Amino acid sequence: MSASIALLCLQATEDGRAITEAIREDNEGVVITNKPAMIQIERAERITVKASTVSEHLGRDWDPEELQLVLISLGGQVDETDDEFIVYWNN
Amino acid sequence: MAVQSIGEYPIIMKDSVDKFHGNQLVYLYWYGHRVVSSPRAFPLPPEMPFGAIISDLIPVTYKIEPDFEFLDFDKTEVIWEIDGKIIVPDFSKSLKDNGVGHKSFIKFITPSLTGKVGA
Amino acid sequence: MSANQRKKRLNKKDAYKYMTRLGWNPTYQKEEDVFPFLEMEGLKIHDWEAWEDPFRMTMDSYWKLQAEKDKKLYSIIDAFAQNNAQKNISDARYVNALKLFLTGVTPLEYKVVQGFSHAARAFKGEGASIACQMQAIDELRHFQTQVHTMSHYNKYFDGFHDYRTMHDRVWYLSVPKSFGDDASTSGPFEYLTAISFSFEFVLTSLLFVPFMSGAAYNGDMATVTFGFSAQSDESRHMTLGLSAIKFMLEQDADNVPIVQKWMDKWLWRGYRMLGLVAMMMDYMLPNSPTSWAEAVELYIEQNCMALYKDLEKYGITVPEKLINTIVAEKSHLSHQVWNIFYNHTNAANIHIWMPDENKMNWLSEKYPDTFDKYYRPMFERYIALQEKGERYYSETLPLICQTCQIPLGFTDIEGGNPHVYTHKTSEYNGEIFHTCSDGCKEIFDAQPEKYVQSWLPPHQIFQGNCGGATIPEVLKWYKIEHGVDNMDYIGSPDEAMWNKLKNK
């Protein structure tokens, strides 16, 4: 039985692209697909967005709650702390 | 599950027959025909002769069907169902006398005219 | 300031607790008087503190983020208008998808402002109440931004001018209207299951992705931007839906069968309403990225099943019968709904048309087992009639379903009778009631007292409540201008305007 796929869809803006690069760095096996105006991010079970990595890519302080400014859709449960935003399935 | 409410929940019959100014609702369906996108609804006097269904309602509704031109109530085999029961209607008698009540569903089936378009 | 030297502040968990846990136990009023809606649905709630909001939104971050989103969105709407970007859409036919959206979906956004406000007041737990309050404001934002986005199209295209009246009166708009009314007149827990979970979590992708990717593929930048801006709120809504469901299921094992019934009912009601989206995505978009059948495969057969799997541990089961029908119908649904609208285009505020050769070939490719066999011959015949000046418009009114309010235009695929309309009956209080399917019949039979109150447009017309007995009188009452808002796209003022614009 295949694992459930955690999903994040982000707007293809400057910030969205930087966040995507941070995700690529921190999540092995992540599959990133470019669609019109949108970046689709998929990975088995769990995607972790780390504030420190995003901040490095952006060149400024970034808070996980800012993800909402570029978030289009997600698939999975959510856990948000001061340092990370995680989308995951618990099957 | 029934309706949950705090206090009494009223029974409001939105389409009771008294609301139709002497008419009753009657539905019509030519079995198997799909150009007409659903069965149709009509407000009809209960005293209307059943024959008016053949002379008026069926042509205005179903003339768009490709096999309508072959529908001849004198020659074509037609099976009538009123509310799921096969009936042989008396066309000179009223809807009411033929067992067509408020919100009755009249289906007519023509085994030789199946409504196929193309395939 | 680097990430390592951030100013010290309260962490998210504590900030959330201090800013949201501001409730108290009433001392001089009885709790059941302060919260009168909590018992009636039969749910057992032992600990409201167990309600979690994973986003942990507090009002300060809410205002900040939402204001930022709005500023960005309105800049784009302004730019769109300034540059007359409506000229860059693929074809004027596309705009009918927006007319459908503005009259069908946008008023529902307003309806759920009321619905979530009511739920916020009804719930005792602050976590639940605050999440609902924020959602109510989100929905108001969606309503406003949709109206703003589409107001620009109203300057150039017909059918947009009175979405409020049309939503309340027009025959096919009673489908979404009754959906919203049904949810709003349920108790707060069912409401949350219906809207937050079934609609905003399970089925959201079947509504928003088709409209928004339809917009993207057809050059409608304004709608894409609105869509993405709203979708960021939707992630919070989806999370509210999932939190709500888990909360109800975890609070007491006795809640499981109640919640299961609601999930099943609202999956079905949502699916039936999404028939309008099916026809939109397959027929209204000159450039269609995805077919309805493909969307069902991805969002129902895959994603929805993954979700149910996640809930298995609570005892929730997949409603196999309903899912089987949805899957069986997927290659027929959009064509059947398009035919319903083709029959009744004379009474709609949108244009309908027969697909051109390109679109027909796309449909053949996406529906290899059904389109050429059942629908192309019918549509080619319509085109031949139209070329003779005999474009078909129905002079008669449909029998519509007592529950979903759609004409009984769906056929018996599972029974092997794809040319026969499905039809069920029930009896209540000495009167017969007609429904389109087992799904809708079950909903009626579970709560007949509710559905005998359905405001069914054809019946209301026959009762004399809709401006008159003839179609012209009813159109006037609908605020639909005959020969302008309705009828085929070919020959419409929209077409004439568009051809002139494109120098055709």
Confidence of residue A23 (pLDDT cuts 50, 70, 90): very high
pLDDT above 50: residue A1: no
The answer to whether A2 faces chain C, any CB pair under 8 Å, is: no
CATH code for residues B22-109: 3.10.20.560
Nearest to A74 among C213, C235, C310 (CB): C235
**Is the complex ipTM higher than 0.95?**
yes
Average pLDDT over residues B5-14: 94
Q: For residue B118, what pLDDT is reported?
A: 63
C220: Cβ contacts below 8 Å, ≥ 6 apart: C89, C94, C98, C214
B17: Cβ contacts below 8 Å, ≥ 6 apart: B24, B25, B102
DSSP 8-state class, residue C91:
-
Closest-CA distance, B93 to chain C, in angstroms, reads 23
Name residues 312-351 of chain C within 8 A of B (Cβ): 336, 339-340, 342-344
Output the average pLDDT for chain B. Answer: 95
Lowest mean pLDDT among B45-59, B99-113, C217-231, C481-495: C217-231
Name residues 453-482 of chain C within 8 A of B (Cβ): 453-456, 458-459, 462-464
B85-87 and B79-82 strand pairing: antiparallel
Q: For residue B119, what pLDDT is reported?
A: 47
* Contact in structure between C104 and C276 (CB atoms under 8 Å): yes
* Long-range contacts at C377-382 (CB < 8 A, ≥ 24 apart): C377/B117, C377/B118, C377/B119, C378/B34, C378/B35, C378/B117, C378/B118, C378/C339, C379/C354, C379/C355, C380/B118, C381/B35, C381/B66, C381/B117, C381/B118, C382/C342, C382/C354
Domains of chain C plus CATH, in order, are 46-501 (1.10.620.20)
Q: Which of B6, B38, B56, B102 to mutate to test the interface with C (most CBs of C within 10 A)?
A: B38
Q: Where are the domains of chain B?
A: 22-109
Output the average pLDDT for chain A. Answer: 91
Q: Which residues of C263-278 are buried (b: 16+ CB within 10 A; e: fewer)?
A: bbbbbbbbbbbbbbbb
CA–CA distance, B68 with C141 (Å, rounded to integer)? 52
Q: For residue C182, what pLDDT is reported?
A: 97
Confidence of residue A76 (pLDDT cuts 50, 70, 90): confident
The CATH topology of domain A5-88 is: Phenol Hydroxylase P2 Protein (3.90.56)
Residue ranges for chain C with pLDDT beneath 50: 1
The answer to whether A33 faces chain C, any CB pair under 8 Å, is: no
Q: For residue C303, what pLDDT is reported?
A: 79
**Strand, coil or helix: what is B29?**
strand
In C155-220, alpha helices (H): 163-169, 174-184, 188-191, 204-217
